Amino acid sequence: MIRFILADLRRMWPGALAVVLLVALATALGVGVVLQERAIRLGSARAADKFDLVIGAPGSETQLVLSAVFLQPSPLPLLPGETFQKLASDPRAAFVAPIGFGDSYQGRQIVGTTTTLVRNLGDGFAEGRLFAAEGEAVAGSDAGVPLGAHIKPSHGAPEEGGHTHTALAYTVVGRLKPTGTAWDKAIMVPIQAVWHIHGLGEADHDTAGHAERETTLDPAAPLDERFTGAIPGAPALLVKPKTLADAYKLRQAYRGQGSLAVFPAEVLTRLYATLGDFSTVLVAVAAGAQFLVAAALIFVTVIHIGQRRRQIGALRALGTPRSTVLAIVWLELFALLTLGITCGFGLGYAAALAISGQVSAWSGFALPVEFARGDLGLAGLLIGFAAVLGIIPAVLAYRQSPAAALRV
């Protein structure tokens, strides 16, 4: 029987290939949507794991998280320096790191921060060391700048009236190991250098003297992260609470009255809800496409059985039992549908990998494309449907009279 089926499929390979491709593409659509949505959920959640609490000026919670955690450029209002100083002395905070952004280098975000945050961001250095002077920088694992590179920061896009700072060129002295966050594509510099290069900071650096000071900044100026006295504001503060209870207390204490405190995971949960609604629509579209393909396959197979009436009649005239004819027809279609489903899972996985790669390239954080145990249930459901679908033409062949078939 198997040899007969293989020979039959080789003889009708164009039609068999069309059936496999139809099923594969319909399956790939649904599988790709499921895998991509899961990749975005897992990737964003893992990227936000390293950031417990984010505090910024009142405004959009979502934009605060996107800017501070995922480094998506946006003009955030500045949080007063007094808030940072108050938090830095709060016993419930293990550490507080101000971050400043707005500058870039060849499309990579330059983020001003502290040595404490850099040390706690990843698992150490792949090469080099931590910055120790205003003119030094640490590159993320995927920032694409080598050790020893000299970086002149640009403020804003050139087409939007941006300009290159001439006051200071950073020298890359270290490169972090991968963290799985958007910061892997960033270049980290001392926050005080960001303040000074934008005409902020110490009292003797007033805004009026900004142009002159840009020509005299000392790249070897040592860091002073005690942050005593009046300090400039920052777009966001990244806070590491000492305990889970402290995290909720800090969030409550700094939510309102001139500041906004959020848990990134909490904001992402709301985004997931929106994403879930969107993915439900896509899955419904994919299910509709699969239903149409199934209907088309039924139509094609019924026509196919009609075209094979003489062959089926000959088999019956030679004494082949009806059950054998039923099994041959059913096995042929079931094999094609199962092969299409298998190829569809492979195509869906490949498509999700390609899309995740593109998203990771601009977002900066990894999107893990992986199957889950629940996907086995989806595969089983599709294969079960294929088994049921294959019965229709098999029953038609089973009921066919050999005498009537040979007269056609």
DSSP string covering 146-201 = -TT-EE--EES-GGGT-EE--S--EEEEEEEPP-SSGGGG-EEEEHHHHHHHTT-S
The predicted model scores a pTM of 0.71
Q: What does the domain layout of the chain look like in residue ranges?
A: 2-44+270-407, 53-262
Beta bridge partners of 164: 154
pLDDT tens digit sequence for 95-122 = 999 998 878 888 888 999 999 999 988 7
Contacts 24+ apart (CB under 8 A), 259-262: 259/55, 259/56, 259/57, 259/58, 259/79, 259/83, 260/55, 260/56, 260/57, 260/58, 260/59, 260/61, 260/64, 261/53, 261/54, 261/55, 262/53, 262/54, 262/55, 262/61, 262/64, 262/65
Q: Which amino acid is at 178?
A: P
Residue 135 tokens read as 């003119």
Predicted local distance difference test score (pLDDT) of residue 203: 38
Point out the residues of the chain with pLDDT beneath 50: 159, 202-215, 405-406, 408
Please give the pLDDT value at position 77.
Answer: 87
What pLDDT is stored for residue 13 in this prediction? Answer: 72
Dist. CA 394–CA 388, nearest whole Å: 10
- Could you identify the residue written with the tokens 């809800």? 273
DSSP of 284-299: HHHHHHHHHHHHHHHH
pLDDT digits (tens, 9 = 90+) for 213-266: 444 567 777 778 777 767 888 899 999 999 999 999 999 999 887 889 999 888
Instruction: Output the pLDDT for position 213.
Output: 43
